[in-house]
Amino acid sequence: MRTLSLILVSSATLLLAGCPSQPVTPEQDPAGVSDANRQGVTTGIDTSGVDGADITLLRDPKNALSQRAIFFDLDSYVVKDEYRSLLGAHAKFLNDRPKRKMLIQGNADERGSREYNLALGQKRSEAIKKALGLMGVREEQLEAVSLGEEKPRCNDASEECWGQNRRGDMLYPGLTD
């Protein structure tokens, strides 16, 4: 009986360790950004001082900053070299604006257990955070969370669709798309 209790406690601890730091709510859009996250209420990220020029840059489809998704291979949390310039653009943006924050949401496709996908999503968001940190972005500017498989971009059961769901989204509080 003691062994069973230890297993249950260990399982509960692992489940909690892999859970996102923020609750996932049905009000969130497909990119996984709730209105609360956009306003910094849920995440604790301050959105005061949101600059209109920054928002214009972040929304301009001709600017690399409008691209805010990093895609991953199956069961991987390695940031591919092809995203180096995109991460560099976001790092420069954040380094030039030390008060600006970024929320990084890690996502997974529907395959795998909920616990596995939450852990993988967290590793993906942390990998993006680490890459940005190596480019000089201060840790206090970045928050990494996992949504696991909860906010897919695509719901078809195909490799192409699953590939869209294996991603990390780089979001700027105060910016609504």
Q: Is the pLDDT of residue 14 over 50?
A: no
Q: Is the pLDDT of residue 102 over 90?
A: yes
At 168, which amino acid appears?
G
- Terminal Cα distance for the chain, rounded: 53
User: Is 65 within 8 Å of 89 (Cβ atoms)?
Assistant: yes
CA–CA dist 118, 147 (Å, integer): 6
CA distances from 83 to 45, 64, 78, 88, 109 (A): 25, 11, 11, 8, 20
> Domains in the chain, ordered, with CATH?
2-21+32-171 (3.30.1330.60)
CA dihedral 45, 53, 99, 27 (to 10 degrees): 10
Q: What is the pLDDT of residues 106-151, one digit of tens each?
A: 999 999 999 999 999 999 999 999 999 999 999 999 999 999 999 9
Q: What is the pLDDT of residues 20-45, one digit of tens each?
A: 333 333 333 333 333 333 333 333 44
What is the model's pTM? 0.72
Q: Is the pLDDT of residue 8 over 70?
A: no
